[in-house]
Structure 1
Amino acid sequence: MLTRKQHELIRFIQVKLEETGISPSFEEMKEALDLKSKSGVHRLISALEERGFIRRLPNRARALEVLRQPDNVSQAAPRAATPANTNSVTPPLRAPAATPRPANDVIEIPLHGRIAAGMPIEALEGQSSLPVPAALLGPGEHFALEVSGDSMIDAGILDGDFALIRKTNTARDGEIVVALVHGEEATLKYLHREQGGVRLDPANAAYDPQHFGPGEVEVQGKLAGLLRRYH
């Protein structure tokens, strides 16, 4: 059986997730439950986690997932702190819905060297990691590659960008893919199939399409997003 504060906290987390898709911060939880310190929030979260009501999502600085609700869900969630002289109130609780993926947190994904957006170069040359906002990634397993070259500039992909790739070995014609050529070199291009072979198209008129025969090209993943650093 949950304590009153544990019950209030799990309902507050659920309401915030349903409204915004974002886990409440420890400061928001402290204010909503009228606690004196964040250590009290930590204790409540640990207790709920031990009882299987919530879990902390790995590799993210701030992300909670509600696994199940208490049996008694009639009690209202605590009201979030609002500025004085406002009429803002917490909306009525709804039946638990599928918890949205927290959008404000960061995920560490593998960073596999550099990939050519021009002529193919060696791919997956070593491995580190890259912090990526969770909102940029959809379902599936992802990795990142640093772009080298300018053959995809008309698609908005520039030299030095980080291409966020969803792992897959299938793709539709016209999608931007990581194509492994002859099992050794990789490039980022538009994929087109023709006459039993494959054509890899650039997005820059200064470059020609590349043509390959059956079995010479293997799809390693599809472009899911881009990160760009401004210096």
Structure 2
Amino acid sequence: MLTAKQHELIRFIQQRLEDTGISPSFEEMKEALDLKSKSGVHRLISALEERGFIRRLPNRARALEVLKQPEDVVGGGKPANDVVASRTIAPTVAPQAANDVIEIPLHGRIAAGAPIEALEDYQSLPVPAALLGPGDHYALEVSGDSMIEAGIFDGDFALIRRTDTARDGEIVVALVNNEEATLKYLHRDSGQIRLDPANAAYEAQVYAPQQVQVQGKLAGLLRRYH
């Protein structure tokens, strides 16, 4: 049985995990529950952990896993006598913890210079879940140096959120003429699409709108050091 504040906190944690995949900070929990200090959050977290509702994942900052949720009480969902019953969450629907590693498709190499062919799926790439956020993602290995002034280097792995729309100034995966893909800043200019590099040694590429299809936006980078 839980108190009303414990019930409110576990609901808040579960909702945040479902929305972002990242556990809320103690400051966010304090504000959400209108508590005066973080020590109150610590006490609630400890109580929920002792009762088996949540667990802290070892060696992972801000990583909480919800093991079971309180049952909504019939009649408006408010706890009766300041306590609520509980139900166990099936492991198959447990949210991804903040620092867990997940596998996303690695589609091949993408040009950060002249467009080159984007390859089909051939393997996956392990990525910390906290780097991705909501949405469907895939990875591409960067080839070329035209985006170095944006901090994107040859051999980096670009983490891409799937979308077919983007705002001016965003870094996108642009499919050109249905056969070549490139990573560039997107700009719309006088009825045309301009793909801008981030390297003064390269010129912008200009296409008719029907020649360019946005296939995703840059969500993050992964770099391996040898």
1:125–1:100 distance in 2 versus 1, CA, 3 Å: closer
Which of 209, 217, 222 is the matching residue for 1:227? 222
* Offset of residue 16 of structure 1: 11
Tell me the equivalent position of 1:203. 198
- In the alignment, the residues of structure 2 paired with residue 15 and residue 229 of structure 1 have an alpha-carbon distance, to the nearest angstrom, of 38
Tell me the equivalent position of 2:187. 192
- In the alignment, the residues of structure 2 paired with residue 205 and residue 159 of structure 1 have an alpha-carbon distance, to the nearest angstrom, of 16
Q: 1:73-222 counterparts in 2 under 5 A? A: 102-222=97-217
Provide, for residues 70-96 of structure 1, a one-character-per-residue CA deviation record: whole Å limited to 9, x for no partner: 457957xxxxxxxxxxxxxxxxxxxxx
Matched residue type, 1:195 = S
- In the alignment, the residues of structure 2 paired with residue 176 and residue 165 of structure 1 have an alpha-carbon distance, to the nearest angstrom, of 10
Secondary structure, counterpart of 1:135 in structure 2: helix
* Offset of residue 131 of structure 1: 1.0
Secondary structure, counterpart of 2:130 in structure 1: helix
- In the alignment, the residues of structure 2 paired with residue 66 and residue 197 of structure 1 have an alpha-carbon distance, to the nearest angstrom, of 52
Tell me the equivalent position of 2:69. 68
- In the alignment, the residues of structure 2 paired with residue 195 and residue 21 of structure 1 have an alpha-carbon distance, to the nearest angstrom, of 44
Q: In the alignment, is the contact (CA less than 8 A) between 2:162 and 2:217 conserved in 1?
A: yes
- In the alignment, the residues of structure 1 paired with residue 194 and residue 23 of structure 2 have an alpha-carbon distance, to the nearest angstrom, of 40
Matched residue type, 2:107 = H
Tell me the equivalent position of 2:23. 21
- In the alignment, the residues of structure 2 paired with residue 184 and residue 136 of structure 1 have an alpha-carbon distance, to the nearest angstrom, of 29
Provide, for residues 164-195 of structure 1, a one-character-per-residue CA deviation record: whole Å limited to 9, x for no partner: 00001100111000000000000000001112
Provide, for residues 91-144 of structure 1, a one-character-per-residue CA deviation record: whole Å limited to 9, x for no partner: xxxxxxxx9963111111111001000010110333311111111112111100
Matched residue type, 1:196 = G
TM-score normalized by the length of structure 1:
0.62
- RMSD between aligned residues: 3.6
| Fraction of identical pairs, as percent | 63
Matched residue type, 1:68 = Q
Tell me the equivalent position of 2:27. none
Aligned length: 171
* Offset of residue 220 of structure 1: 0.3
Runs of 5+ unmatched residues, structure 1: 23-28, 35-43, 49-61, 76-98
Provide, for residues 8-43 of structure 1, a one-character-per-residue CA deviation record: whole Å limited to 9, x for no partner: xxx799399489818xxxxxx9xx649xxxxxxxxx
Of stretches 103-112 and 169-178 in structure 1, the one that deviates more from structure 2 is 103-112
Q: In the alignment, is the contact (CA less than 8 A) between 1:143 and 1:166 conserved in 2?
A: yes
- In the alignment, the residues of structure 1 paired with residue 155 and residue 175 of structure 2 have an alpha-carbon distance, to the nearest angstrom, of 20
- In the alignment, the residues of structure 2 paired with residue 104 and residue 126 of structure 1 have an alpha-carbon distance, to the nearest angstrom, of 25
1:217–1:125 distance in 2 versus 1, CA, 3 Å: same
